[in-house]
Amino acid sequence: MDPKIKSAYLAPEGLLEPLLKEVDGIVSVHDRLILSSKPFIDAHWAQNIWENPITLSIDSINDAAKKLKGIQRNWCLYSFTLHRRAKLIEEKLNSSKPRPTPFPSPLPTQGTGSWCLLDENTLLASSDCSSPFPNGEPFFIEDKKGPPNRAYLKLYEALTLAGKTPKAGEFCIDIGGSPGGWAWVIQKCGADVLSVDRSPLDEKISRLKGVSFEKRDAFSLLPEEFEKEGKKVDWFFSDVICYPEKLYDWLAVWIDSGICKNFICTIKFKGEPEPEIIKKFAAIENSKVVHLFHNKNELTFIKPGNVR
């Protein structure tokens, strides 16, 4: 394929458009995979970025598997063409199948490479991918009984990427916390949590030890309240539904106060996302703004005290 592919971006299901706006040098688009002639950028809307892909000529299924195995052990296929041939190569690769992991678990240490067939005799492969999960899809062992909704999976994913979790003895605030999926995760980690929302928590969550609740407007909650009482806040979680600009201004007050080091917030968009506001979040020191597999039309801002 001409010109040379220097990066590739896998879009989340149903969210190709915002990624197309972020990526330059687009050569072609294959379902959810964007191929670019420019070096990779940290695209916020990518589910996985193939950072330095190489193009390999192959003359058979065996040859393809041999060449990939010669690079590394674990590979994940993104198939958009010649599905049968791709599947046969995949079978020969015999990569370990991803299994649902318990939470918390450390990030996988062995990276998974990504590959696809471009045509019958050419494949594109990258052993340098942004996501530690195959095709950017983490799977956790689900809990159908404890949490009141599936929002807990989003926090599982964010905390796994942050590389740390709230601990016993820590105090967390959980803004826009109802019905309590996130509060359930935080409590399960052993920390105390104050959830704030205009709607009540699910009863089974509000009864959990270490969970408290205040019914009030999220944006009236300011660091002074805690400073006055000499109370530390270890984690600031927000899943509140609001305009990104409003979240940014309020979050900035909390970050500037220095009262809290760890932040995880969803940035929700109504319709088309606004790149300018995303840039403002991304410019906050020691933070990252990513699209989680469990996010819909939203991004997640992660600023753990220890981010690289």
Ligand X SMILES: C[S@@+](CC[C@H](N)C(=O)[O-])C[C@H]1O[C@@H](n2cnc3c(N)ncnc32)[C@H](O)[C@@H]1O
Name the strand (E) or helix (H) holding 160. helix 151-162
Instruction: State the residues that interact with ligand X by CB under 6 A.
Output: 149, 151, 176-182, 197-199, 217-219, 239-242
Whole-angstrom distance, CA of residue 119 vs CA of residue 300: 36
Shorter beta-carbon distance to ligand X: residue 117 or 240: 240
Least separation in angstroms between residue 152's CB and ligand X is 6
Q: Which 3-state string (H, E, C) describes 241-293?
A: CCCHHHHHHHHHHHHHHCCCCEEEEEEECCCCCCHHHHHHHHCCCCCEEECCC
Shorter beta-carbon distance to ligand X: residue 31 or 225: 225
Q: Which residue has the tokens 């649902």?
A: 100
Whole-angstrom distance, CA of residue 260 vs CA of residue 255: 7
Least separation in angstroms between residue 132's CB and ligand X is 24
Dihedral of CA atoms 14, 291, 21, 7 in degrees, nearest 10, equals: -100
Task: Write the DSSP string, 40-102.
Answer: ----TT-SEEE-S-EEEE-SSHHHHHHHHHHH-S-EEE--SS-HHHHHHHHHHHTPPPP--B-
Least separation in angstroms between residue 246's CB and ligand X is 9
Residue in 34, 80, 60, 36 with CA at minimum distance from that of residue 120: 60
Alpha-carbon distances of 244 from 164, 196, 294, 297, rounded to whole Å: 25, 18, 19, 12
Shorter beta-carbon distance to ligand X: residue 47 or 295: 295
Least separation in angstroms between residue 13's CB and ligand X is 19
Least separation in angstroms between residue 208's CB and ligand X is 13
Least separation in angstroms between residue 300's CB and ligand X is 12
Least separation in angstroms between residue 77's CB and ligand X is 33
Shorter beta-carbon distance to ligand X: residue 81 or 149: 149
For residue 267, how many C-alpha atoms fall within 13 Å in the half-sphere facing its CB? 30
Shorter beta-carbon distance to ligand X: residue 26 or 252: 252
Residue 117 CB: number of other CB atoms within 10 A?
Answer: 22
Shorter beta-carbon distance to ligand X: residue 31 or 245: 245
Shorter beta-carbon distance to ligand X: residue 116 or 183: 183
Burial 167-187 (b: 16+ CB within 10 A, else e): eeebbbbbbbbbbbbbbbbbb
Q: Cβ(58)–Cβ(122) under 8 Å? A: yes
Least separation in angstroms between residue 60's CB and ligand X is 50
Shorter beta-carbon distance to ligand X: residue 75 or 213: 213
